[in-house]
Amino acid sequence: MKHVPLKTIKLKNHPELNERWLQDIIADDPSIIGIGDVILKDKERIHHHAGRLDLLLQDADGIDRYEVEIQLGATDESHIIRSIEYWDIERKRYPQYNHTAVIIAEDITSRFLNVISLFNGSIPLMAIQVSAIQTAEGVGLHFTKVLDVQQLGLVDEDEEVAEITDRDYWLKRGTPKTVEMADKILSNIIEFDPDAEFNYNKFYIGLKFNGRSKNYSIFRPKKNFLGVAIKLPQTEENDEIINQAEITTLDYDNARGNYRLKINERELDKKLETIKQLIFNAKEKFG
C-alpha cells in the first residue's frame, strides 16, 4: 500500500477559509469533534454584555451541554476567559444541565494547556485541537482531544420549551427498526391509555394526550437500541422487577426521577410485558 503524505494547512492564514467556515462545518455535523452523540442547540448565541457564544451543543440524550468557543491559530488569554465566561453564564441560566466549556483551536500550546489544566476539576473544561488537511477533493478536518474533563453527574431532558421535530427526524437519528420498537411499546400503552400519541421532540419522543404533554415515559431511538425512560421512584421493588426481567439499565436519573432502560431488538418481545407494567405504574402515579 502506497503511503500518501498529507498536507496540513493553517486556517488562520487561509485566504478563503475562516472561523465562520469552521463554525458552520461543526454546526452541520457536531459529532465530528469527537465528544459523542451531540446535537446543535444554538449558534452565535447572544450573551448580553459578553458577546456571542460560537456554538451551544447538547448531548442527544439531553444530559449534558457544551459551550464551544472556536479560535483559529493558537489559544490565547482572551479565548480562555471568553470560554469560561460563556460557560458560567449558561450554567447559571440553566442549572438543570451539566455544562462543559470546550475550546477548539488549531494550536493548543503547552503553556496554555498548563493554564487550562489548573481549572480542570473545578471548571469542567475540554480542549480540542483541529487540523485542516488539504486533499484533492477539498479540505478535511481532524479533531484531537488534548484535554478531557472528568465526567460529572447526570441531568436529563428538556428545557422550558421542547423543539418540535417529526417522525422522519427520528428515523434518521435512530433507525426504522428502533423507531418501530417505540411504536410497539406505544401500541401497548394505548391499551391502558387510549388517547396516547407520540410527541416528537429534538432530544426525545415524548407522549401527548389531546395535544398536552404527559411524559411519564419517553423514548430515544438509537442506531443499535431503544432508550426508554420511565418516571418511577427508585425503590427496591422496582429494582427487583427490572432485575428479574434482566433489562439493561443506565444510571438512575435522580434529577428527573426516571429509570433509564436500554432495549435491543432481540429482547423487546421477551421483556415487553415488564416494560408495559412499569409504564402503567408510572401512568398511575404521574399520568
Q: Domains of the chain: which residue ranges?
A: 7-147, 167-286
What type of residue sits at position 23? Q
What pLDDT is recorded for position 76? 80
Model pLDDT for residues 181-204, shown as the tens digit of each residue: 999 999 999 999 999 999 999 889
CATH assignment, 7-147: 3.40.1350.10
The residue assigned the cell 480562555 is 80
Q: Which residue has the cell 427508585?
A: 234
Check if CATH label 3.90.870.10 holds for domain 167-286.
no
Q: Can you give the pTM of this predicted structure? A: 0.57
Predicted local distance difference test score (pLDDT) of residue 227: 94
- Look over the chain and give the mean of its residue pLDDT values, rounded to a whole number: 86
Instruction: For strands 125-134 and 98-107, give the pairing.
Output: parallel
> Which uninterrupted H or E stretch holds 118?
helix 110-119
Predicted pLDDT of residue 242: 94
Domains 7-147 and 167-286 fall in the same CATH topology: no
Nearest to 255 by CA among 162, 153, 161: 153
Q: What is the pLDDT of residue 212?
A: 86
Residues 6+ apart with CB under 8 A from 94: 65, 159
> From CA 237, how far away is CA 219, in angstroms rounded?
23
Rounded to an integer, the average pLDDT of 136-160 is 65
The letter for the amino acid at 239 is D
Instruction: State the pLDDT at residue 159.
Output: 44
- H-helix or E-strand containing 169? helix 167-173
Q: What percent of the chain has pLDDT over 70?
A: 92
